[in-house]
A and B are shown apart, each in its own frame.
Chain A
Amino acid sequence: MTPAEIRDEILDILEDISPDEDLDDLKDEVAFREQLELDSMDFLDIVMELRKRHRVQIPEEEYGELASMASTVAYLEPKMRDIVKT
C-alpha cells in the first residue's frame, strides 16, 4: 500500500469505529485526540482493526505512534508496504 492508501484505510477504520465523526476536515499533523472524541478504547480498536484486516501487529509499547494521521501513516508505511490494496 502507498502512504495515500494507508491513509484511506485509517479513515475507513475511523469511520467504522466512530460513524458520527466528521472526518472531512481532519488535520493530519494534529493529534487525533485533539480533533476527535477518541479514548483509549477507540485506540485499541484502531490497533485491533489493523490486525483483523491486514494482519498488522502493533506491540502495546508502540501504540503511541498512532497519535496523529501523519505519525500513523509514517509508522505503518514499512509494515504495510507489501500489502496489496483490495
Chain B
Amino acid sequence: MTDPNAANSSIDHYDTIIIGAGMSGLAAGIRLAHYDQRVCILERHYTIGGLNSFYRMGGRDYDVGLHAMTNFAKRGTKKGPLAKLIRQLRFRWDDFKLAEQIGSSIRFPGVSLDFNNDIGLLENEIAERFPGQVDGFRSLCDSLLDYSDMDGADERFMRSAREVMAEHISEPLLIEMLLCPLMWYGNARENDMDFGQFCIMFRACYLEGFGRPFKGVRVILKNLVRKFRGLGGELKLRSGVSKIHVEGGRAVGVVLDNGTELTATRILSSAGNVETMRMCDDITEVDVARAGKLSFIESISILDRMPQSFGFDRTIVFYNDSDAFHWKRPDDELCDARTGVICSPNNYIYEDDEGALPDGVLRITTLANHDRWCELPEAKYQAEKVRQYDLAVASSVRFMPDFRQYVVDTDVFTPKTIRRFTWHDNGAVYGAPTKQLDGTTHLPNVFLCGTDQGFVGIVGAIVSGISMANRHCLQP
C-alpha cells in the first residue's frame, strides 16, 4: 500500500524522500518502509553512515565517529532510548549486541574521577575526592529532566547547565569535570550547555553508560541497511541532492547533482538545517551563523601491543590540562589540544567467543577549526596532519602511559574529512547550537532529522530519525 494521501502515483514518485544515509536517515527509512511507504534514501557520498562511518586501510578496519555508544542498556531492558529504538525498528537485542566498557575517567591536573555503567562508582569517587559535594551531586541527579520532557516544552530545557549545576554544587572544579565528558559527547553550544541537552547527555553517559559492538559501528550500519532494503526501501549512493524543488509553497521533489529529478509527497532531511534551506529553490539566502561550529581532529594510533599490557585499561579518558574547561572552537589555530578524549576500543568487556580485537588501538580526539584546515594548500595540509597528530598525542600522554614507542601505524582525520563525509557546514559534529526540536521547516512537507533536529550520538540520531518519521511522515 502506498500512502493514500499521495497526490501523485506515478512510478517515479515516492511517499517520502530522505536526504542522507546516516543513522537518522536510515532509521527513519526503516520506520516508513515497514509501514509500506515507498521510500528512497539519497546519499551524496559513496558510502553510508555520514558522521558515523568506517573504512579499511592497510588491511585494518577503522571506525569514524564511534568511540562508544552511549545509552548502554542490558538485554531485555524495557525503558530508555536503546530499548525504544530496538522496539521501534523491530530489531533483536543481538543485532545491537554491546560489550560494556571496562571503565572511563575524567582527568584534570591532580585529580581524577572514574566512572562506569553503575552510577554508584562516580558517586563514590566524588565522595572521596570532593567530600563536601556528594549531597549536591545527588540532588543534581534528582533534578534531571526525564526523557519524556525532552521535546523542549519544559521551561528548564533552555536554562544554562552551568547555572543549574551551581545551585547544587559549590566546587567549580567538580562542575568543570562533570561537564567535560558531556560536552565532548554531545554539546553543540560553545562554553555552556542547555540544561535539557545536559540532562540527555548526563543520562546517556553517567546513568546509562558506554558500550560498543565488537566489530564497531559497521555492525550497526549494516543492520540498518539490511533491514531497510529488506523492507523494500531504496538506497541511492553518489546521489547528492542539489535542489529541493518548491512549487506553490510546497516541496514537490528533488533534483540530484547529476540532474535526475525525483518527486515525493514529503521530504525528510538529515543534511542539516542551514544546509537543507540552501537546497530549497524558494530561498535565496540562508543564515549561516546558525550552523554549528564545533569540529574535531582525530589522531589514530595502531599499536604493536594491547593498551592493557602497558597498564592502560581505560575505555575513555576525558582530559583537560587546567582547572577551567574550555569548550570552544580554536579561533587562531588549527587545533586546541588542551582538552581531548582518549579512547581505546580494546578496553571493553567482550564475550569470550568474540575474542580480542586484532590490534591495540588508541584514538585521540581534540578540538579543531574547520576553516583553517580547509584553507591549507594540499602539501601543507598533509604536513599539518602529521604535526597535529604529534601535538595531540603529546598532550594526551600527560594523562596516560606514554605509548609512542609502540605505534606501528597512524591515521588522522580532520574537519575537512568530516565535511567531506557529512557535507555539514563547518564540519560540525554535533550540529547547530539551537536545535529545531519539532523538526519543522518553512515548508509544510519538508522536515528535519539528525543532529540539527535533536539528540546527537548514535542512539540519539537513530531516535531522532524514528521520532521525526513517526511525527511527520507516518500519520495520515
Contact = CB atoms under 8 A, between A and B. Distances in A.
Nearest to B4: A57
Contact of A20 (B1, B76, B84, B148): B76
B475 A52 contact: no
Contacts of B36: 52
Contact of B87 (A42, A48, A51, A57): A42
Nearest to A37: B78
Chain B interface: which size bin?
A: 10 to 19
A44 B76 contact: no
Contacts of B148: 39
B87 A52 contact: no
A77 interface: no
Contacts of B476: 57
A5 interface: no
B88 interface: yes
Given A52-B35, A52-B36, A41 B84 contact: yes
A42 to B, nearest CB: 7
B139 interface: no
B474 A20 contact: no
B87 A18 contact: yes
A55 B87 CA distance: 22
Interface in A32-86: 37, 39, 41-42, 44-45, 48, 51-52, 55, 57, 60
A19 B36 CA distance: 21
23 contacts: A16-B90, A17-B87, A19-B87, A19-B92, A20-B78, A21-B78, A37-B78, A39-B148, A41-B84, A41-B466, A41-B467, A41-B470, A42-B87, A44-B474, A45-B88, A48-B35, A48-B474, A51-B35, A52-B1, A52-B35, A52-B36, A55-B1, A60-B475
Given A20-B78, A39-B148, 6 more contacts: A18-B87, A20-B76, A37-B78, A42-B87, A48-B474, A57-B476
